């Protein structure tokens, strides 16, 4: 049971225990850097340890900090420098929780890993499916969309059937110290608002120019990592109307800005699709979700891209695009 020290994984551990599973709590130590305030800080480890003790479960800390740096933090920095927009939480799930933790758990002799994600693993027609959590507002299936079927087969998500209110109520009933704890929302290794300086501290960047869609130079910048396609704030130029980043060319160190209309596309190219379940034949209708808590929009899977029913803003390269049928995750790709 991966225990972050938050209320969801606390309750998940309690539920698994009460279902009769032989549960061992593990907290991952992923980051010891300056922003030690995310999901693996000392205070959170202590919360996880205390909850495990209260539930009568053994608890351990696994130190994956070196791997986390190599598998999540370095790619995060490299992506921004390349003008892309990474999703480190998805990378962490794939490489840490469903990577090193799952491998180690299986090596030790455990049958599965469990987390406090709001999503559901269910067997339908003899096949495993990943479905959205019962609480639509808290659904986290998006960040699990790039897992593979073998990983899903070793996964338990005990709070997926509950609403967040149910989870908190259950934690309160059990008297768990995490019952009223605030949720973590930010990337755990970067403090809010400090992404730019974090990237700058780990990578060399070239200054460049900002141009309009017709090539007119309207400003300068110190590095493309500060920009994400679709971004409106912090452009440092005033042109009298709303402008958005519509393209980032890292090779030329050029950021293109334009009107909202310039962002709209009929289709979104994708790469590196990982199919999780269900059928995904070209031409099939899907729902595509481009943000963790964004709306899933109707589209047609064309193999290599999704064709939107109505034009949509271009998705920043590197962002995860999760494909659904109803509330079932079909797979996850990256915006190209």
Active-site residues, by number, are: 92, 188
Residue 112 or 169 having the CB closest to another protein: 112
Q: Are strands 208-212 and 305-313 parallel, antiparallel or unpaired?
A: unpaired
Among 106, 165, 217, 239, binds another protein (CB under 8 A): 106
Beta strand spans in 3-81 (E): 25-29, 59-63
- Judged by CB under 8 A, does residue 150 bind another protein? no
- Judged by CB under 8 A, does residue 239 bind another protein? no
Rounded Cα gap, residues 139 and 155, in angstroms: 16
List of residues 6+ apart from 241 with CB closer than 8 A: 259
Reduce the DSSP state of residue 190 to 3 states and report it.
coil
| Shortest reach from residue 61's CB to another protein, in Å | 4
What's 56's DSSP letter?
T
- Judged by CB under 8 A, does residue 60 bind another protein? yes
Residue 105 or 200 having the CB closest to another protein: 105
- Judged by CB under 8 A, does residue 58 bind another protein? yes
- Judged by CB under 8 A, does residue 29 bind another protein? yes
| Shortest reach from residue 103's CB to another protein, in Å | 5
Rounded Cα gap, residues 305 and 308, in angstroms: 9
| Shortest reach from residue 297's CB to another protein, in Å | 38
- Judged by CB under 8 A, does residue 111 bind another protein? no
Among 35, 54, 62, 219, binds another protein (CB under 8 A): 62
- Identify whether the C-beta of residue 87 lies closer than 8 Å to the C-beta of residue 44: no
- Judged by CB under 8 A, does residue 42 bind another protein? yes
| Shortest reach from residue 109's CB to another protein, in Å | 7
- Judged by CB under 8 A, does residue 108 bind another protein? yes
| Shortest reach from residue 285's CB to another protein, in Å | 37
Residue 66 or 241 having the CB closest to another protein: 66
Among 21, 104, 177, 260, binds another protein (CB under 8 A): 104
Residue 108 or 137 having the CB closest to another protein: 108
Residue 40 or 299 having the CB closest to another protein: 40
217-221 sheet: strands from edge to edge = 217-221, 208-212, 254-258, 244-249
Beta strand spans in the chain (E): 25-29, 59-63, 113-114, 119-124, 127-132, 155-156, 208-212, 217-221, 244-249, 254-258, 264-275, 285-289, 297-301, 305-313, 320-325, 328-335
- Identify whether the C-beta of residue 74 lies closer than 8 Å to the C-beta of residue 67: no
Residue 26 or 134 having the CB closest to another protein: 26
| Shortest reach from residue 157's CB to another protein, in Å | 21
- Judged by CB under 8 A, does residue 103 bind another protein? yes
- Identify whether the C-beta of residue 167 lies closer than 8 Å to the C-beta of residue 159: yes
Residue 33 or 230 having the CB closest to another protein: 33
| Shortest reach from residue 63's CB to another protein, in Å | 4
Structure tokens at 274: 């990982």
Reduce the DSSP state of residue 325 to 3 states and report it.
strand
Among 21, 24, 69, 336, binds another protein (CB under 8 A): 24
List of residues 6+ apart from 253 with CB closer than 8 A: 206, 207, 208, 209, 221, 223, 224
Q: Are strands 208-212 and 254-258 parallel, antiparallel or unpaired?
A: parallel
Instruction: Give the total of residues touching another protein (CB under 8 A).
Output: 22
- Judged by CB under 8 A, does residue 49 bind another protein? yes
Rounded Cα gap, residues 147 and 210, in angstroms: 37
* Residues of the shown chain interacting with another protein in the complex, contacts defined by CB under 8 A: 24, 27, 29, 40-42, 45-46, 49, 58, 60-63, 65-66, 103-104, 106-109
């Amino acid at each position: 049971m991966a225990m972050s020290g938050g209320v969801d994984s606390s309750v998940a551990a309690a539920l698994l225990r009460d279902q009769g599973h032989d549960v061992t709590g593990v907290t991952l130590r992923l980051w010891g850097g300056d922003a030690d305030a995310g999901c693996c800080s000392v205070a959170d480890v202590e919360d996880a340890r205390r909850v495990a003790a209260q539930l009568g479960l053994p608890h351990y800390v696994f130190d994956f900090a070196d791997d986390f740096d190599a598998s999540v933090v370095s790619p995060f920095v490299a992506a921004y420098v390349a003008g892309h927009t990474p999703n480190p939480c998805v990378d962490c799930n794939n490489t840490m929780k469903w990577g090193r933790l799952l491998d180690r758990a299986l090596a030790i002799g455990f049958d599965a890993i469990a987390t406090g994600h709001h999503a559901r693993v269910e067997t339908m027609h003899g096949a495993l499916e990943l479905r959205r959590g019962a609480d639509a507002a808290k659904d986290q299936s998006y960040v699990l969309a790039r897992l593979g079927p073998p990983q899903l087969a070793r996964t338990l998500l005990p709070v997926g059937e509950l609403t967040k209110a149910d989870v908190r109520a259950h934690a309160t009933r059990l008297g768990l110290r995490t019952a009223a704890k605030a949720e973590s929302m930010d990337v755990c290794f970067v403090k809010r608002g400090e992404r730019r300086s974090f990237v700058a501290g780990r990578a060399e960047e070239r200054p460049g120019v900002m141009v309009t869609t017709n090539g007119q130079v309207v400003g300068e910048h110190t590095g493309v990592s500060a920009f994400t396609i679709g971004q409106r704030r912090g452009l440092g130029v005033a042109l009298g109307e709303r402008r958005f980043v519509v393209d980032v060319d890292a090779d030329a160190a050029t950021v293109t800005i334009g009107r909202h209309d310039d962002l709209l596309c009929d289709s979104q190219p994708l790469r590196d699709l990982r199919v999780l379940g269900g059928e995904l034949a070209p031409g099939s209708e899907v729902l595509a979700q481009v943000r963790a808590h964004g709306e899933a929009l109707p589209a047609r899977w064309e193999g290599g891209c999704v064709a939107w029913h109505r034009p949509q803003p271009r998705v920043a390269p590197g962002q995860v695009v999760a494909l659904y049928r109803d509330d079932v995750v079909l797979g996850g790709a990256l915006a190209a």
